[in-house]
Amino acid sequence: MLLQRSLLCALVLVASGFAVLPQTKAEEAGWITLFDGKNLEQWDQVGKSNWHLADEVVIADKMDGKDAGYLVSKKPYKDFVLRVEFWPSDDANSGIYFRCLDATKITDRTCYEANIFDQRPDPSYGTGAITRYVEIKTMPKAGGKWNTFEITAKGRDITVVLNGEKTAELKNGMFDEGAIALQHGAGTIKFRKVQIRPL
C-alpha cells in the first residue's frame, strides 16, 4: 500500500510538472535571447573596451583609448520590446542604444539611447533618460546593483521603463530600424540577460 501511495504521489508531481511547463513556455513565447551569459555569438565588438565573460555575465571595465566600446547586435530590429539586466558601478557611463543607423558608428546622434550614467555632469539626461530627446526630472540611481531596463519601440512610440518605473516616453520617427548596442564608456558595466520580443 505504501509503495502504491508513493507511486501515486510521484505520478501527481510529474503530471503537475507537465501541466505547468506549457504555461511557462507560453509566458516566454516570442522572446528571443540575445545574451544568456554563455557566449557573444549574436554580437560584434566595436571599439576597444575589454569585454569578457565571467560568472555568466559579460563585463567591461577598461578601454584602450578614450573612445567608448560597444557590443552591437548582428541583426537590426524595428518594432520590439527589449529587456536588459545590467549592473553598473557608481561611476559607470553606459547605455542601451537601439535602432542604430550605422552598426559600426554608435552615437546618440545615429541611435536612440536609454542612458545609464548616474554621475553625468548634466543630470538632465542621466540614468533613465533618452539622451538628446527626453530629460529625466528625478534621476534614479542604478549604481552598485542589478537593474532591468524594458524598452518598447513601436513605430514612432518609444517607452523606457527602469525597474518597473516609466522614466521616459517619446514620440519620434528619426530612427525606425537598426542594431542594438550595449555601451561601455567609463567605470564597470555588467550585462547578464538580454532578450527581445519583436512586435
The whole-number pLDDT of residue 26 equals: 42
| Distance, CA of 88 to CA of 103 (rounded, Å) | 23
Do 37 and 112 have their domain in common?
yes
Per-residue pLDDT of the chain (199 residues; tens, 9 = 90+): 544 544 444 444 444 444 444 444 544 789 999 999 999 999 999 999 999 999 999 999 999 988 999 999 999 999 999 999 999 999 999 999 999 999 999 999 999 999 999 999 999 999 999 999 999 988 899 999 999 999 999 999 999 999 999 999 999 999 999 999 999 999 999 999 999 999 9
| Distance, CA of 34 to CA of 49 (rounded, Å) | 20
Do 106 and 26 have their domain in common?
no
Sort 152 into a burial class: Cβ within 10 Å, 0-12 / 13-18 / 19+.
Answer: middle
- What is the number of structural domains in the chain? 2
The whole-number pLDDT of residue 25 equals: 56
**Structural domain span for residue 42:** 31-198
The whole-number pLDDT of residue 14 equals: 40
Do 14 and 112 have their domain in common?
no
Do 1 and 93 have their domain in common?
no
| Distance, CA of 84 to CA of 70 (rounded, Å) | 15
Q: Residue 125's domain is classified under what CATH number?
A: 2.60.120.560
Do 18 and 68 have their domain in common?
no
| Angle in degrees, CA 107, 93, 178, rounded to 5 | 30
Do 132 and 154 have their domain in common?
yes
The whole-number pLDDT of residue 173 equals: 95
pTM: 0.86
Is 90 within 8 Å of 190 (Cβ atoms)?
Answer: no
Phi and psi at residue 126, in whole multiples of 5°?
A: -80, -160
Do 18 and 58 have their domain in common?
no
User: Residue 107 contacts by C-beta under 8 Å, 6 or more apart in sequence?
Assistant: none
The whole-number pLDDT of residue 29 equals: 83
Do 49 and 24 have their domain in common?
no
